[in-house]
Amino acid sequence: MSRKANVPGQRDVVIIGGGHNGLVTAFYLAKAGYKPLVLERRAQPGGAAITEEFHPGFRCSTLAHSAGPLRRDIVRGMQLEKHGLNMIKTDVAVTSLSPDGRALILYNDVEKATQEIAEFSQKDATKYPQFQSSLAKMGRVIGKALTLAPPDIDNPSSGDLWGMLNTGRALRKLGRRDMYRLLRWGPMAVADLAAEYFETELLRATIAARGIFGTFLGPWSAGSSLVLLIRAAGDEQAAGTSWFATGGMGAVTQAMASAAQQAGAEIRSGAEVIEVRVKDGIASGVVLSNGEEITARAVISNADPKRTLLKLVDPAQLSPDFVMKLQHYRMPGTVAKVNLALAGLPKFTALAGENHDRALSSRIHIGPEIDYLERAFDESKYGNFSRQPYLEVAIPSLTDPSLAPEGKHVMSIYMQYAPYKLKGSDWEKQRVPLGDTVVKTLAQYAPNLPELILSHQIITPQDLEETYGLTGGHIFHGELSLDQFFTMRPLLDWARYRTPIQNLYLCGSGTHPGAGLTGGSGANAAREILKDLKK
């Protein structure tokens, strides 16, 4: 694929989808001298990281409300701050609320977090720094593996072998105790892991929540600890750091789009790809919904694996065995989103005085016990949305007043569990009941919330699929599980961003490492694709 072989009217590279991974891939390819064209179906690029007005004067991060966090090398490489990005890191990592009127405020500073935990349990206060230290060490080792392309199992290259050697060395440096813990923790249920260290239910549930967020897993599900470890690779805090952006999460992708364009990429919005052209097993370009055909020497999809290979590509171009395996790739959505426009700041009964606003400036966790989280999951297993759901809440207008009129606020709420497939009903019928359930649950902790609501936006798993292009409503393009991780993401033998169709690649969250808003999949994919482009 020599750049000199280009023909009139042909593109170097076409990227399907302007989500954050697609923009990261476009940037690195443009920096290498190619001219990628990013085609975004919606009116603005950004994918799940967008900021939109949902009520006059009220703007909110429509889907994702916090960063993954972004990989530091990507932030530096793209010089996102020079393109207007201002990340906000709050002192408080997360505020967890209990129905009995107590609040556990976990700070990013371990010493301050320990003092708060001591109000609940002195034993837990002693254990917390130990747990934090081990998790951070393991996270750094896993973080190294997440920056690598999964090795070719049958024919590893010298680069694969070198990467595995370095990872092995990092493992050994952990020491015998933490290396044993790493190997043991991965397959565990995160509820068991939390119980080994802590006795306070509110603390257990707060940490366990990191292992189930966005997944079809409950805290007692085997392998849920792996999700916690994956998240620790980018964020060493046991409870997770709160990373917001001035202007909402859309500011992240706006900065990425600006960086990619400056590097030489072109971005077209309102351009829906309906087909990847394939002839004799080779991708030759794409077809848009308006009938326009664009030829390219490489086609890269930021869409999920199923949408790309079972919808945009004619499955007849793939082997029956591959199609069957991809059909069984698990991506059952479990998350809904509710955004509220508020006339004022709600008063949470567990918080008082000067701590009130400060505690609310981070993520707010609603899910006071492990059993509470498991019961919420149980309902979804049988096709019902949770009537006492696990919620992750943010009030971004506290740290960024530009999102709402003066004195007013926006509230962003992740609701889990909301299964994509409902039993005996559909999401149009259940949209309002879901919104009512979320408000009713929050009103147990902030009784004056209902009277403050000016408007609400309810986004169901069906909306996530139809409006935002997330097949099955899955926000991570597929389950983060032991059998869909690393060399098996999305499928064994197809974890290196290539597909069975020559010149067709994947760069979205359905590829390794696939851990949310980090940019890791896009950066890794760009590196592998460049190897082919330069041949």
Query: Quick one: three-class SS letters along 446-505?
Result: CCCHHHHEEEEEEECHHHHHHCCCCHHHCCCCCCCCHHHCHHHCCCCCCCCCECCCECEE
Per-residue pLDDT reduced to its tens digit, 41-53: 999 999 999 999 9
Per-residue pLDDT at 354:
63
Supply the DSSP string of 337-377, one letter for each residue.
Answer: EEEEEESS----TT--TTHHHHHHTSEEEE--SHHHHHHHH
Same domain, 337 and 325: no
Reported as a pLDDT band with limits 50, 70 and 90, residue 353 is confident
Residue 102 lies in a domain: no
Of 432, 464, 496, the last residue of a domain is 464
Average pLDDT of 373-382? 96
Evaluated on CA atoms 435, 436, 439, 440, the torsion sign reads negative
Side-chain half-sphere CA neighbours of 381 within 13 A: 9
Residue 97 lies in a domain: no
Same domain, 426 and 518: no
Residue 103 lies in a domain: no
Per-residue pLDDT at 9:
57
Same domain, 165 and 227: yes
Reported as a pLDDT band with limits 50, 70 and 90, residue 2 is very low
Same domain, 520 and 494: yes
Reported as a pLDDT band with limits 50, 70 and 90, residue 262 is very high
Ordered strands of the 409-416 beta sheet? 103-107, 92-97, 363-366, 390-394, 409-416, 335-342, 453-459
**Mean per-residue pLDDT over the chain, rounded:** 94
Per-residue pLDDT at 232:
92
Lowest mean pLDDT among 42-46, 166-170, 346-350, 425-429: 166-170
pLDDT for residue 6 is more than 60: no
Reported as a pLDDT band with limits 50, 70 and 90, residue 5 is very low
**Are 395 and 360 spatial neighbours (Cβ–Cβ below 8 Å)?**
yes
Per-residue pLDDT at 8:
47
Q: What are phi and psi of 96, to 5 degrees?
A: -105, 130
Residue 469 lies in a domain: no
Per-residue pLDDT at 439:
98
The residue to which tokens 């999920």 are assigned? 304
- Position 246, amino acid: T
Per-residue pLDDT reduced to its tens digit, 188-247: 999 999 999 999 999 999 999 999 999 999 999 999 999 999 999 989 889 898 899 999
d(CA 363, CA 90): 9
Quote the tokens at residue 363.
């993520």
Of 439, 464, 489, the last residue of a domain is 464
Per-residue pLDDT reduced to its tens digit, 454-488: 999 999 999 999 999 999 999 999 999 999 999 99
Same domain, 343 and 319: no
Residue 108 lies in a domain: no
pLDDT for residue 158 is more than 90: no
Residue 23 lies in a domain: yes
β-sheet bridge partners, residue 394: 412
Q: Which domain, by its residues, includes 417?
A: 332-464
User: What CATH number does residue 365 fall under?
Assistant: 3.30.519
Reported as a pLDDT band with limits 50, 70 and 90, residue 426 is very high
Average pLDDT of 114-140? 95
Same domain, 139 and 219: yes
Per-residue pLDDT at 168:
77
CA 491 from centre of chain: 19
Same domain, 443 and 510: no
Per-residue pLDDT at 10:
79
Reported as a pLDDT band with limits 50, 70 and 90, residue 382 is very high
Same domain, 355 and 302: no
Per-residue pLDDT at 166:
78
Same domain, 368 and 437: yes
* Residue of 276, 280, 267 whose CA lies nearest to 505: 276
Lowest mean pLDDT among 138-147, 305-314, 316-325: 138-147
Residue 203 lies in a domain: no
Pairwise pLDDT comparison (424 vs 175), residue with the higher score: 424
User: What CATH number does residue 506 fall under?
Assistant: 3.50.50.60
Quote the tokens at residue 247.
């202007």
Tally of domains within the chain: 3
Alpha-carbon distances, residue 466 vs 40, 275, 286, 300, 433 (angstroms)? 15, 17, 21, 21, 20
Of 422, 440, 464, the last residue of a domain is 464
Same domain, 409 and 293: no
Pairwise pLDDT comparison (369 vs 352), residue with the higher score: 369
Residue 244 lies in a domain: no
Same domain, 456 and 491: no
Quote the tokens at residue 502.
């020559």
Same domain, 171 and 255: no
